[in-house]
Structure 1
Amino acid sequence: MAETNPSKTHNLRADGARLWATILETAAFGGTPAGGINRLTLSAEDGRVRDWFRDACEAAGLTVTVDALGTQYAVRPGRDMSRPPISFGSHLDTQPTGGKFDGVLGVLAGLEVMRSLNDAGLETEAPLMVVNWTNEEGSRFAPAMMASAAYAGDFTTDEILSKRDAAGITVAEALDAIGYRGAEDVGARAIGAFVELHIEQGPILEAEGKTIGVVEGGQGIMWFDGLITGFESHAGTTPMPRRRDALLALSEFALAAERIALAHAPSAVATIGEAQILAPSRNVVPGRVAFTVDVRDPRSPALDAMETSLREAATEIAERRRLEIALTRIWRKEPVPFDPAIVAAVDAAAESLGHARRRIISGAGHDACNLAAKVPTAMIFVPCKDGVSHNESESATPGDCAAGADVLLQTVLRLANAPRMEPPAR
C-alpha cells in the first residue's frame, strides 16, 4: 500500500543519474553528428520518441492518453481522483539544429518524478500528470506552442489541424502519418496546476552562480512582417544618389530597431530574424526585401512605445530614401504573470533544498505561458552553458538537471498534498 508520509516526502529526491541516462537515451532519436538533435514535430523521429515516452510511462504504471493534436498525457492516480491532476512537463520536439535539453528536460524530469515516487512507495492526494505538448518549437508548423495554445482556447482544433508546413503537409496529415491523432478532445482534460521545468535559455543564472530560477512570468512578444518596396535598377549604371535600394533601407531599419530596444534597456530586445531579397540578382539593385521583426519586453507600456518608435523609424527611412516600408503586426502576446501561489511553492521547494535561487522572467515563450490563461502555472529554470539554446552545442550539467528535478518533485508534492480548496460560493 502506498503511503503519504510528510517526513519521507520532505527528504525525497529524484534519481539524477537515471534522469541523465534518459536524457542521453532519448537524444538518439534524431541525434546529429554534432551532438544535438534534429527532431521536428510530428516527424518520424518525433514519432519514435513519443513511442519511447509512452512505453516508459506505461512501464511506470501511468495511464497514457493522446488528444486530437497529439499531446500525450500520462496520469498517476492519487488518493482523491475527483481532484484535477497536478501537471508538469514540456515538449520533446526540437529545432532543426536543437540541443538535448530544451523542452526535453521538462518531460523527462516529469517522468523521473513519477519513477521516484514509485520507488519510494508514495501516493499523493491529488493525481499527477506529465504532459508532452505537441509542436512547442514551431520550426515545422506555425504557430509555435500550438497545442498548448489550443488547450487554452487561443485556436480551435480544426484551425491547428489545417496548418501546413513548407512542403504543404497539414498537421492532420502529419499526425496520421505517425499515428498520433488521438481521440480525446483538446482542452477537455482538467488540470489543477501546471509546473514546467526548463533550461533558462539565457545567461543570467550561470553568470550569477544560481542553480534555480523561480520564474514569475513570461515577457510580452510582438511579431511583425515587413516589406520594403524600392526600385530594381542596373547595379552598374544607376548612380548611388538615384538608387531606391530596399536592402539599404532594411539595414537602416535594423539599426533603428537596435537603438529602440536599447532605449528600453535592460529588458527590451528586438530581432530581425528573417530577411529575403525578392527576385535577387548579383547585378541588380534590390527592389523588394521581405523581413520579420521580433520584439519582446515584460512591460506592456514598453511594447506600445517600441511599436510606435518602429513605425516612426520606418516612415522616416521610407520618406528619405523614396521608397515604401510596410510593417504589419501579425501577433501580440501580452506579458504573462504566473500564479503567485504556484510561484511561492517553487520558491519554497528550492529554499527547502538549499539551492541558490533568484526570481526571474522568462525571455522565451513556453507552453506554460499559454496555459497560464487557464490554469495556475509557474516555471522552474536551471542554467545552461553560456546561455546557449536552439543550438547543437546546448549544454546543461547533470547536477543542475538533478537539482531542477528535485525542485520539481518537491513542488509537485506540496501542490498535490495541499488541502483541497473549494471554490467560493456564488
Structure 2
Amino acid sequence: MPIEIDRERFVATMNEQAEIGATDGGGLHRLALSDEDKQIRDWFATQMKSEGLEITVDEFGNMFGYREGTDPDADTVLVGSHLDSQPYGGIYDGAMGVVAALELVRTLNDEGIETERPVEIVNWTNEEGSRFQPAMQGSGVWAGSHDIDKEHAKTDANGDIFEEELERIGYKGETSAEPQRGYDSYLELHIEQGPYLEENDTDVGIVTGIVGFTWGAITFHGEADHSGPTPMHYRSDALVAAADVISQIRRIPGTLGERTVGTTGYIDAQPNSINTIPEEVTFTWGFRDPDTDVIEEARTRILAEAEWAAEREGVDWDYEDRMWADPVHFADRCVDAVARAAEQLNYNGMRIFSGAGHDATHTHKVMDTGMVFSVSENGKSHTEEEYTSWSDCYAAANTLANAAFELTTEP
C-alpha cells in the first residue's frame, strides 16, 4: 500500500514558509545569504529538530537532516531542494521540494515506519544563482563540480563576499562540503516551470533528465560622443553592435532544435544617457538544449556573430564564459520508481525532460538521481505570478514520498 502525506499539514507548511520573504505581490524575495535566507534556514532547522533528525551544516551552508535506517551498512536516500528564491519570484520554486522532503519524514514518523536505508533531507545553498553566480552553487561544491575556495570568494553586485555573508548569517558550518556518507540515490521535487504538463493534461511529471546550457557575457567597447553633432559614419556605437547580436540570440534556437532556447537576461549600457552615444555595453547569452553538440554550436555561432558585429560597427569586443552544464540523463531505477509511484497513486504521469537546471544536475555525479515535476499553470516561474494548485502540489509531493520510500527498501 502506498503511503500518504498529510495534505492539510503540507499546505499549511507551504504557506508558513512563504511568509518569510513574502512580497506584496504574493511571491517571494528570499535571496541567497540574505537576512530572509537566514530566517528560513532557522525555520527549517527548527522543523528538522522537531522530527528528531540529526542536523548538519557544511562549510558552504548546505543543510542536512539525517534519519537512521534499520541497516547500518545501507547507503542513504537523499531528498530535497532549495529554499532561496529569485528576486520577486514565486513561493513554489525550490521551496516545495524541501517542504515535501520534510513531509516525507513527518509521515514516516507519524506511521512509525522504519526504513531499511537511512533518509536524509537537504536544503542546498544558492540554487538560484541570482545574487551569487553560478546557479546550483551549493550542490556543485558538494558534488565536486566547483572549487570551494573559488566559490567562497565570489561577490555580488554590491561587492559583498560570499564567505563573509555566509558567516554573517551564521550558516558557515564546520563539516566539509562533500559527501559524508555513502549515498544510494537522490530525488528532488520541483515545479515544471514550463507548459508541457498542463498542455498534456497531466497530473505529475516523471523527469528523465535535464537540459544542458551555456551562459556567458559579451562586452562591446566603442567610443562615447555627442548624439547630435556626430555623423553616423563617425560613430563607434557599442549598443548597435550589441543589438545585432542580441537579435541573433533570439533567432539562432529556431535553426537548431525543437527544445533549443536562447535568452539575453541582462544588459548594461554605459554611460546610459539619452544624449550620448553608448561607449560600452555588456549583455549575457544563455542557450539550453538536451544535446551537448547543439549547445556548443549555439555558443560558437553567437561568438561569430559578435565578431562580425564588432567589425561592422568599428568597436572592440571580448567575452566571458560564465557557466556550462552538460545535459543530464537520470538513472532508470529512479525514473522508474517515480513512474511506479504515480501509477500506484492513480496519477496520470508523463515522462519529460527538464528545461531548467536543478541541483540534480550535480547530484547525479555522486549517486543515482531522479526528479518529480508538478504542473506549472501557464508555465510561469521566476515571477510572483508563478502558480501551482494545491491539488497539483499534493499529487507531486505524494509521488515523491512514495518513490523515495520505494528506494529506501530496494535491495
**Residue 145 (structure 1) aligned with residue 145 (structure 2):** no
SS of 1:123's equivalent in the other structure is coil
1:209 is aligned to 2:222: no
1:264-313 residue CA offsets vs partner (Å, 9 max, x unmatched): 23111111111111223221111221111111111011112212221232
Moved more, 324-333 or 64-73: 324-333
Instruction: Give distance in 2, aligned partners of 1:327 and 1:47.
Output: 35
Q: Is 1:274 aligned to residue 266 of structure 2?
A: yes
For 1:286, give the aligned amino acid. P
Cα distance, 1:203 vs. partner?
Answer: 1.1
Correspondences of 1:256-271 after superposition (within 5 Å) = 256-271=248-263
Q: Write the distance in 2 (CA, Å) between the matches of 1:367 and 1:116.
A: 24
After TM superposition, give the deviation of residue 241 of structure 1 in Å: 4.0
Structure 1 partner of 2:278: 286
Aligned ranges 1:23-422 → 2 under 5 Å: 23-190=14-181, 191-419=183-411
Q: Which moved more, 1:144-153 or 1:179-188?
A: 179-188
Note closer, same or farther for the CA distance 1:69–1:357 as it changes in structure 2 (3 Å cut): same
Structure 1 contact 274–292 (Cα < 8 Å) conserved: yes
* CA–CA distance in structure 2, aligned partners of residues 303 and 98 of structure 1: 27
5+ long unaligned stretches in structure 1: 1-9, 420-426
Question: Structure 1's 216 and 280: CA in aligned 2 closer, same or farther, altered over 3 A?
Answer: same
Q: Aligned-pair distance for 1:410?
A: 0.9
**Residues 107, 268 of structure 1: alpha-carbon distance in 2 compared, 3 angstrom cutoff:** same
The TM-score with structure 2 as length reference comes to: 0.96
Q: CA separation in 1, counterparts of 2:45 and 2:119?
A: 16
Contact residue 238 and residue 278 of structure 2 kept, 8 A: yes
Distance in 2, Cα, partners of 1:154 & 1:292: 22
Cα gap change, 1:163 to 1:25, in 2 (>3 Å) = same
User: Which letter maps to 1:372?
Assistant: H
SS at match of 1:233: coil
Alignment check: 8 A CA contact 2:134 2:323 kept: no
Give the RMSD, CA atoms, in angstroms. 1.5
Letter paired with 2:11: W
Identity across matched positions, percent: 39
In the TM superposition, what is the alpha-carbon distance from 1:130 to its structure 2 partner? Answer: 0.7
CA distance in 2, matches of 1:16, 1:164: 40
The separation in 1 between residues aligned to 2:410 and 2:79, in whole angstroms, is 16
Which residues of structure 2 form unaligned runs of 5+? none
Tell whether the 8 Å contact from 1:198 to 1:381 is kept in structure 2 after alignment.
yes
Alignment CA distance shift 1:315-1:181 (3 Å):
closer
Quote the Cα distance in structure 1 between the aligned partners of 2:319 and 2:21: 37
Deviations 1:190-240 (A, max 9, x none): 322100000011111111111111111111111121011233222111233
Identify if the C-alpha distance between structure 1 residues 47 and 328 changes in structure 2 by more than 3 Å, giving closer, same or farther.
Answer: closer
Q: Does the Cα contact within 8 Å between 2:143 and 2:179 map onto a contact in 1?
A: no
State the AA in 1 paired with 2:299: E
Distance 2:370 2:56 in 1: 24
Give secondary structure in 1 for the equivalent of 2:236: coil
Say which SS state the counterpart of residue 113 (structure 2) adopts: coil
Q: How many angstroms does 1:244 deviate by? A: 2.6
CA distance in 2, matches of 1:169, 1:225: 21
1:397 aligned partner, one-letter code: S
Residue 327 of structure 1 and its aligned partner are, at CA, apart by 3.4
Aligned equivalents of 1:332, 1:235: Cα separation in 2 = 39
* Cα distance, 1:352 vs structure 2: 1.8
Alignment partner of 1:80: what SS? coil
CA distance in 2, matches of 1:166, 1:232: 24
Take 1:15 and 1:271, find their aligned partners in 2: how far apart are those partners?
A: 40
Indicate how the Cα distance of structure 1 residues 26 and 217 shifts in structure 2: closer, same or farther if over 3 A, else same. same
Secondary structure, counterpart of 2:214 in structure 1: strand
The answer to whether the 8 Å contact 1:16/1:401 transfers is no
The answer to whether the 8 A contact 2:193-2:381 is kept is yes
What is the rounded CA distance, in whole Å, between the counterparts of 1:370 and 1:19 in structure 2?
27
| Alpha carbons of structure 1 residues 142 and 312: separation in structure 2 relative to 1, 3 Å | closer
Between 409-418 and 149-158, the greater mean CA deviation after superposition: 149-158
Cα distance in structure 2, aligned partners of 1:244 and 1:188: 52
CA contact (8 A) 1:66 1:182 kept: yes
**In structure 2, C-alpha distance between the alignment counterparts of 1:156 and 1:241, rounded to whole Å:** 48
